[in-house]
Structure 1
């Protein structure tokens, strides 16, 4: 009889899964913290932090909320995933996988509803753009967002330049004393390739011209139609991005559940 003793190896937690999940989440944790820091800095620059009530005073959408919500979700999920994996805490890992699963379900539901009720979504997009056209001068971040959208999609207003009549600075009423009366923001202007610095006054009085003349100076197509066209032209890329995000979420859920199973198996042998 051999004097050697046989050692039976019991279940153990996979180091690969544990540290991969940790590394996977620390990136999102740090990104979430960065998003929150950017949002707080933006609000500090606008004086919102010194006057909290001004958060609800904005007439339109404040883009900083995108950073706040995205950063908060990424920070919470990243924290739960990191600490849960590092400390082998099944409660945090379950929270991580359930929360991530809920987000995935909401994204899937939103995608299906957007396809089924696309006409309603189009109306809401139109309402959203027009509502924020009214508040164009009320918030610098909103102004930059609208300018970026109009420049990127080569558009002006929700359905056309005349949507800028909704803004008190650009409307064509005789009582409007603004120099921008009957004009449009510079982001509506057709860009001259020879100009390095944009002419911020290029949209002045442009809507006093005939519609055919306007086409030489500004974009006359609305942003709703241009956004739809952009989606159709880039459908494969957009779909690919959403599929990649979905696979990333499923991968994270599987890693967390696998680690929970390993931890339970080890504890069952104690």
Structure 2
């Protein structure tokens, strides 16, 4: 994904800068076309995300559920879910800690086979004051046994699910997201206008020569 983004940024920068410096109308047209395409794509995605927000929520829920099930099987998925739960949203599970019962390692029935993680949650579910030892070393066993009856888990782990936490995050940052989107669109429109004006000037100058 980063390679694709880097390639697009490089192409935009090259066509814009070289097209302007060399007064190359073909490169300027390419620059305008790319910016226009990106602008239309962003607008389309924005409208679709609003119209199909329930579908997006369902897809996110299904994806998160798959991440929980395969938490110990894929290191990349494990790191992603830990980042979401610990660093970004401070949440646990899809709707709450009980969702970790879907994972074979954290399922409460795994007590019978001697799993130390049975009836627990990953360390990323723990509140920050409980997942470190001496305020420095991360305690990756802080989530062990927290879902067993009788434990005051609300003192140790996050009770809020990540779907609700994501919705709350969107509500809190809606103004910032909207402002960033408008600023990005405005910048792209300016780039398109400048490129088209420069092309028109170049064509006008060439017409004088001929």
Asked whether the equivalents of residues 169 and 176 of structure 1 are also in contact (C-alpha less than 8 Å), the reply is no
Distance 1:89 1:218, change over 3 A: same
Q: TM-score, normalised by structure 2?
A: 0.85
Gaps of 5+ in 2: none
Moved more, 174-183 or 109-118: 174-183
Find the partner of 1:157 among 75, 93, 96. 93
Match in the other structure for 1:251: 190
CA separation of 1:220/1:98 partners in 2, compared to 1, >3 Å: closer, same or farther? same
Counterpart residue number, 1:267: 206
Q: How does 1:161-172 map to 2 (within 5 A)?
A: 161-172=97-108
- RMSD across aligned C-alpha pairs, in angstroms? 2.3
- Is 1:185–2:122 an aligned residue pair? yes
In the alignment, is residue 206 of structure 1 matched against residue 206 of structure 2? Answer: no
- Closer, same or farther: CA 202–89 of 1 in aligned 2, 3 Å: same
Superposition pairs of residues 214-233 of structure 1, within 5 angstroms: 214-233=153-172
Match of 1:22 in 2: none
After superposition, what is the alpha-carbon deviation per residue over 1:151-182, rounded to whole angstroms, capped at 9, x for unaligned? 22121122212222333433334376643333
Aligned to 1:104: 39
Unaligned runs of 5+ in 1: 1-64
Shift of 1:98: 1.1
Secondary structure of the residue that 1:190 maps to in structure 2? Answer: coil
Superposition pairs of residues 1-270 of structure 1, within 5 angstroms: 65=1, 67-151=2-86, 152-174=88-110, 178-192=115-129, 195-209=135-149, 213-270=152-209
Q: Secondary structure at the match of 1:207?
A: coil
Pick closer, same or farther for the CA change 1:82–1:176 going to 2, 3 Å. farther
- Partners of 2:37 and 2:76 in 1: how far apart? 30
